[in-house]
Amino acid sequence: MKKLLSILLVSIFMSCSQGGHPDFAKNTATAKKMLELQGSEADFQAQLDLIHQDVKWQPVFFGATEIGKEEFGQYLKAWQDQMEDVVYTADNWLPGVLAETGMADGSVRSYGTWSGTHTKTGKKWEVKAYHTWDFKDGQIITGGDYFDATGLVNFLEEEENQEEVEMTE
């Protein structure tokens, strides 16, 4: 009985240390790879290969509705075209849970900070963010980006507008 109890406690500890779901570590690696590729712009197709064909993604912008894979690719590319030296520094990697049960489901959550340089102005920026990723068949099937994108765009546009005013004076 002692042996059985010991095995049970070790199993529970190991399960909790891996996010409470056997796929949490693998899915976290996929989410990290997605963010690394987004920042490096090295292989755009490799990013899209991490995305399930039936993805439903919540973009960051006010009023945006969920988008599918083609629109998601355009969304990623638009960020890459406007920014350079982009890095996501995670504060943490958290397991997601099923809302109905509160049990770990293999999904991944992260709070962190994006930083980079605006391509057009050379202005450096930094923004706090929260991201979610849910998985199906090892690919990202749903998720979303949550940060003040409108504030970031306004900040960068202020710099652009100020430069335009200085050029006309």
- Give the pLDDT confidence score for residue 41 in this predicted structure: 72
Whether residue 94 is predicted with pLDDT greater than 80 in this model: the reply is yes
Q: How far apart are the first and last CA of the chain?
A: 85
User: Looking at per-residue confidence, does 40 or 72 come out higher?
Assistant: 72
Tell me: the pLDDT tens digits for 21-49? 999 999 999 999 999 998 877 788 999 99
Please give the domain boundaries of the chain with CATH numbers for all domains.
Answer: 20-168 (3.10.450.50)
**Which positions ≥6 away from 55 have C-beta within 8 Å?**
68, 69, 72, 139, 140, 141, 142
pTM assigned to the model: 0.80
In sign, the C-alpha dihedral spanning 155, 157, 158, 162 is: positive
pLDDT for 5 equals 44
What mean pLDDT value characterizes the chain? 86
How far CA 156 is from CA of 79, 86, 93, 160, in Å, comes to: 13, 15, 29, 6
pLDDT score, position 86: 93
pLDDT of residue 11: 46
Query: In terms of pLDDT, which residue wins out, 56 or 160?
Result: 56
List pLDDT tens digits, range 109-125: 999 999 999 999 999 99
Q: What is the pLDDT of residue 17?
A: 46
User: 3-state class of 46 per DSSP?
Assistant: helix
> How big is the chain by its Cα radius of gyration, in Å?
20
Closest CA to 23 of 133, 142, 143, 101: 133
Mean pLDDT value across residues 96-103: 92
Place of tokens 């090295």: 42
Return the pLDDT at 47.
93
The residue among 141, 132, 133 whose CA lies nearest residue 51 is 141
Closest CA to 39 of 92, 111, 99, 90: 90
- Residue for token pair 């962190």: 112
